[in-house]
Amino acid sequence: MMGLSPFGWCVIVLVALAAMGLPIGLSMVGASIFYLLAAGLDPGTAAEQILNGLYNSYVLLAVPLFILAADLMNTGSLTDRLLKFCLVLVGRFRGGLGHVNVVSNVIFAGMSGSAIADAVGIGRIIIGMMTRGGKYPVAYAAAITASAAIIGPIIPPSIPMVIYALVSDASIGYLFLGGVVPGLILGVAFMVMNAVISRRRNYPVEPPVRLREVPRVTVEAFPALLLPIILLVGIYGGVMTPTEGAAAAAAYALLAAALIYRALSGRQVYGVLLSSAKATTSVGMLIAGALAFNYVVTVENIPVSVQHFVGGFHLSKVGFLLLVNLILLVLGCLLEGTTILLIIVPIFIPAVKALGIDTVHFGVVVVVNIMIGLLTPPFGLLLFVVANMTKQPLLAIVRECVPFIAAAIAVLALITFVPETVLWLPRVMGYKG
């Protein structure tokens, strides 16, 4: 066929289908079937790979459950209570509402696992608080909201880490632990950046919450604050697997919203289930397409070819990680994060193992890269989410995001050059990698 191999035509078909507007998951399925036909293989293999991958992977059950937990928390007023609690903690400093934005995302990260869910759930409330009375420019409020939301999938639980574990065979539990310190460092970096900008622009100081109000606000927030504790103790205490932890998180969020806060009606529960099912279907279609396409990549021996190609440059561990960082940061501007995890990252895994790079360390580096991609144009998904919420020009939000993107890249460099920032906590908890 015009001198191109079946795989070459497969890539052309994939790009063409995606360019015509077909969802990327379906594009991958279509391109994979085209490859199987062109290579003289059974096209039914695509369906076999999809079914085996989806139904034999217990870990994938965590994805819809974490999505459901996040939707329940956003709908059931848990987010409101957390924001009030964070206002007590850090609201009294200059740029206090910016600090509240970051700290609430750090806390919410221990429950959700999704950057989009964090941005939508916290964003609608905190952006209104920041812009009321002209305290902060709308574009800045949107930018810090989008930036803080990337902390969510780095601190456990994390949907991207679940997907990475699927393609790399790394331990989900230790991946979750590996994300804790980098996520906290990222939160501190964003707060420092917010403090510098707030002082330079003279953003307001919020009136301190009266001391007698603190116990009431803390008690009201306590059921919501208990959720990440239950998750972490349950998973790392050996009581439940990460998938069971996701189910426990969803069940607890439902009980807390419906029974403790009495903020969830039957109609709202139906709406939450519907929106969670739609989000799960979208992710599931991507995973299904990737399972079929990864079979094609395996048949073509692409990972081994990449390993030999990288080996030809005689790169050190750090050199390889820097190359991967550069590739992923560029791809993050163009592709959706789940697509990168499912198609691009598996190609690197053999080279990672051959170089002796720890797969948990590599996984956290990959996830931080992908989260930065959510902030970088032209594809940065979080930019579109907050632009839609605030009706602000995308360019104005991008300009305000630049300092936070720079801070995130600095943290990425730190965890790349100092693996112990990722591996210290897993090793404390018994990791031998």
- pLDDT tens digits along 100-142: 889 888 887 766 667 877 787 777 778 888 888 788 899 999 9
Please answer whether residues 429 and 415 qualify as being in contact, where contact means their C-beta atoms are separated by less than 8 angstroms.
no
> Residue 28 and residue 291: Cα distance in Å, rounded?
9
Please answer whether residues 350 and 308 qualify as being in contact, where contact means their C-beta atoms are separated by less than 8 angstroms.
no
Please answer whether residues 112 and 381 qualify as being in contact, where contact means their C-beta atoms are separated by less than 8 angstroms.
no
Q: Give the tens place of pLDDT for each residue, 390-418.
A: 888 889 999 999 999 999 999 999 999 99
Q: Give the tens place of pLDDT for each residue, 15-34.
A: 899 888 888 788 889 999 99
415 versus 168: which is more confidently predicted? 415
Long-range contacts made by residues 423-429, C-beta under 8 angstroms, separation at least 24? Answer: 423/178, 423/358, 423/360, 423/361, 424/181, 425/177, 425/178, 425/180, 425/181, 426/174, 426/177, 426/178, 426/360, 429/174, 429/177, 429/236
**pLDDT value of position 159:** 86
**Claim: this prediction has a pTM higher than 0.85:** no
Three-state DSSP class for 123?
A: helix
Please answer whether residues 421 and 182 qualify as being in contact, where contact means their C-beta atoms are separated by less than 8 angstroms.
yes
Please answer whether residues 98 and 136 qualify as being in contact, where contact means their C-beta atoms are separated by less than 8 angstroms.
yes
- β-sheet bridge partners, residue 94: 205
Buried b / exposed e along 324-361 (16+ C-beta atoms within 10 A): bbeebbebbeebbbbbbbbbbbbbbbbbbeebebbbbb
Give the mean pLDDT of the chain: 85
Q: Give the tens place of pLDDT for each residue, 42-94.
A: 999 988 888 887 777 777 787 788 888 878 877 767 777 777 787 777 767 78
Q: How far is CA 327 from each of CA 115, 119, 167, 373, rounded to the nearest angstrom?
A: 22, 26, 18, 11
Residue ranges per domain, the chain?
Answer: 1-41, 42-428
Q: To 10 degrees, what angle do helices 159-168 and 62-75 make?
A: 180
Please answer whether residues 115 and 149 qualify as being in contact, where contact means their C-beta atoms are separated by less than 8 angstroms.
yes
Q: Tell me, rounded to whole angstroms, the distance of Cα 120 from its chain centroid.
A: 14
Share of the chain above pLDDT 70, in %: 97
Please answer whether residues 76 and 90 qualify as being in contact, where contact means their C-beta atoms are separated by less than 8 angstroms.
no
Please answer whether residues 172 and 231 qualify as being in contact, where contact means their C-beta atoms are separated by less than 8 angstroms.
no
Please answer whether residues 139 and 382 qualify as being in contact, where contact means their C-beta atoms are separated by less than 8 angstroms.
no
Please answer whether residues 166 and 57 qualify as being in contact, where contact means their C-beta atoms are separated by less than 8 angstroms.
yes
CB neighbours of residue 260 within 10 Å: 18
